[in-house]
Amino acid sequence: MITASEKLNREIKERLERLAVYDRDYWSFKGNSRREHGHGFFQYPAMMVPQMARAILAEACAVHPDIEWVFDPFAGSGTILTESMLMGLSFAGCDINPLAILLCRTKAGPFFHKALADKVHCLLDRIKTDMDSRIEIDFAGRDKWFRDDVQIALSKIRRAIMHEMAIWARSFFWIALAETARVTSNSRTSTFKLHTRPLSEIVTRSLDPILQFQRVVERNLDHMKTQSECLNSNGYLNRGHYTKNIELYLGDTSELKFSNGKRFDIVITSPPYGDNVTTVPYGQYSYLPLQWIDPSDIDCNDITQYLRSTHEIDYRSLGGKQRINKDDESYLSERSQSFGRLLKQLSLEPSDRAKKVTAFFRDLNRCLAPILERLQPGGLMFWTLGNRHVAGKSVPLDAILTEMLECEGTVLLTQLKRRIPSKRMAIRNNIAETMRAETILVMRKAV
């Protein structure tokens, strides 16, 4: 249970703002965004900079040493999870993408890195002595997205992983296979969307999926070892198990279900900036890697429905269902003046623009009550957000979300600005030039 007061509000605001007084770009973490520990397991789109998450947690915990539970309702690859663990905090996370939840589960441990090193050795041996050329999976488009020789090699890896008895080891291996499938598929790696390479390139590409897998699995083993040593030296591991709690939920944050009635002390999160199709298609990006993983190792519920098509995960994500009611526009405009102004600006544009934006904010707004319900009175929130452009008009996600959260009885303490140092998102997406800055909203739930 964290305590809140005007004095603590001033303290957190001053501490956070002071960091950017001498270095205007403090929150950008330019040249300081290395991905060590579990952060380096898999290249998930739009991952949060770990050093930023670390700084937020450090400042929040300095003001509130009583923080125990961190909650990320859009957990993605689990950057906040890993940073929370490194500080010895309990963590709860939710994501609609099964690959994100598998990443989080794997990063949560256990950390049996010595046993894992032996298992890696046996696994590689099994793969290299497997002379079978059967293909282990089937899905629409399999031959379009993977060359025959790549399918045979990935099948050998999959067979060897299925042979492994321990779920914690299989999860670790699935992540390495996911990364291998991602880079050896026929889809371009320069975009988050599924986009085939030209045939001439597909047939001539030099690919060795087994060697690729070996490199990834050995790299990830090193990452796990470093993290394990770090956790151990701080007393956060007991026989390889993290000593605090971790709860993960695969599903829509607006329908959040956690088994116990636990309330969290702090929310740190970065939601999507808009609907996946026009911003970052997390689902399309994860579709091919997910095909190779045994679904029952990801979640006890049937996840095959998430893979019905290349668009299913994106369709289920914020703003994916674009049919809106007339009431949605007026309801959201009442909650946010900035949203109302944006709608007016878009009224002269083709109608699908306003519909897409409305569908996204309708879904984001639906997530707020379940998130706040889970936050302690007086709990802190850090939202990292980017404003994009639609039809040449700026979509002020930071202002709209602030206003929507204020309707739910929360108070804005400060806004931190950061410039995005990496050009990856900018160059490779059609949201290009608009993604140059992010805002971190710092808010507190009323007591």
Ligand X SMILES: C[S@@+](CC[C@H](N)C(=O)[O-])C[C@H]1O[C@@H](n2cnc3c(N)ncnc32)[C@H](O)[C@@H]1O
- The answer to whether the beta carbons of residues 447 and 410 sit under 8 Å apart is no
Shortest CB 406 distance to ligand X, Å: 22
Nearest approach, Cβ of residue 251 and ligand X (Å): 7
Judged by CB under 6 A, the residue of 12, 94, 390, 404 near ligand X is 94
Instruction: Determine the Cα–Cα distance for residues 84 and 183; give it in Å rounded to an integer.
Output: 30
Taking CB under 6 A as the rule, does residue 434 contact ligand X? no
The answer to the question of residue 96 lying near ligand X (CB under 6 A) is yes
For ligand X, the closer of residues 107 and 158 by Cβ is 107
Any idea which residue has 């956790």 for tokens? Answer: 231
Kindly state whether residue 112 participates in binding ligand X, applying the rule CB under 6 A.
Answer: no
Cβ nearer to ligand X, comparing 78 with 209: 78
Residue 339 within binding range of ligand X, rule CB under 6 A = no
Residue among 271 and 396 whose Cβ is closer to ligand X: 271
**Residue 279 found at the interface with ligand X (CB under 6 A):** no
Site string for ligand X, 211-250 (x = CB under 6 A): ----------------------------------------
What SS3 class is residue 107? helix
Q: State both tokens at 30.
A: 């330019």
Question: What SS3 state is found at 265?
Answer: strand
Q: Where are the alpha helices (DSSP H) in 19-112?
A: 50-63, 79-86, 98-107
Nearer to ligand X, 112 or 192 (CB): 192
Q: Using CB under 6 A, which of the segments 46-54, 118-126, 129-137, 423-431 binds ligand X?
A: 46-54
Angle between helix 337-346 and 397-407 (nearest 10): 140
Q: How far apart are CA 416 and CA 52, in angstroms?
A: 12
Quote the least distance from Cβ 384 to ligand X, whole Å. Answer: 8
CB distance 119 to 171 below 8 Å? no
CB–CB of 361/275 below 8 Å?
Answer: no
Task: Report the alpha-carbon distance of residue 342 to residue 411 in Å, rounded.
Answer: 23
Could you tell me how many residues of this chain bind ligand X (CB under 6 A)? 21
Radius of gyration of the chain (CA): 22
Record the tokens describing residue 166, joined without a space: 């321990």
Residue 279 C-beta: closest distance to ligand X, Å: 9
Contact 146, 154 (CB under 8 A): yes
Minimum CB separation of residue 164 from ligand X in Å reads 26
Give the residue, chosen from 2, 4, 16, 47, that forms a contact with ligand X under the rule CB under 6 A.
47
Which is closer to ligand X, CB of 159 or CB of 311?
311
Cβ-in-10-Å burial (0-12, 13-18, 19+) of 116 comes to buried
**CB of residue 199 to ligand X, shortest distance in Å:** 32
55 binds ligand X (CB under 6 A): no
Check binding of 178 to ligand X (CB under 6 A).
no
> In this structure, what are the phi and psi dihedrals at residue 378, rounded to the nearest 5 degrees?
85, 0
Q: For residues 238 and 293, give the distance between their C-alpha atoms in angstroms, rounded to a whole number.
A: 29
Please select the residue that binds ligand X; options are 27, 42, 44, 383, rule is CB under 6 A: 44
Q: Comparing C-alpha atoms, which of 195, 368, 199, 219 is closest to residue 281? A: 195
Cβ atoms of 156 and 130 closer than 8 Å: yes
Interface with ligand X, residue 95, by CB under 6 A = yes
Judged by beta carbon, residue 112 or residue 282, the one nearer ligand X is: 282
Q: Site residues for ligand X, window 57-86 (CB under 6 A)?
A: 74, 76-77, 79
Closest separation between CB of residue 408 and ligand X, Å? Answer: 17
Does the protein bind ligand X through residue 253 (CB under 6 A)?
yes
Half-sphere exposure of residue 140: CA atoms within 13 angstroms, side-chain side: 5
Candidates 56, 85, 92, 100; binder of ligand X (CB under 6 A) is 100
- Span of 112-120, 264-272, 304-312, 431-439 interacting with ligand X by CB under 6 A: 264-272
Which residues in this chain contact ligand X in the complex, by CB under 6 A? 44, 46-48, 74, 76-77, 79, 94-97, 100, 252-253, 270-272, 282, 317-318
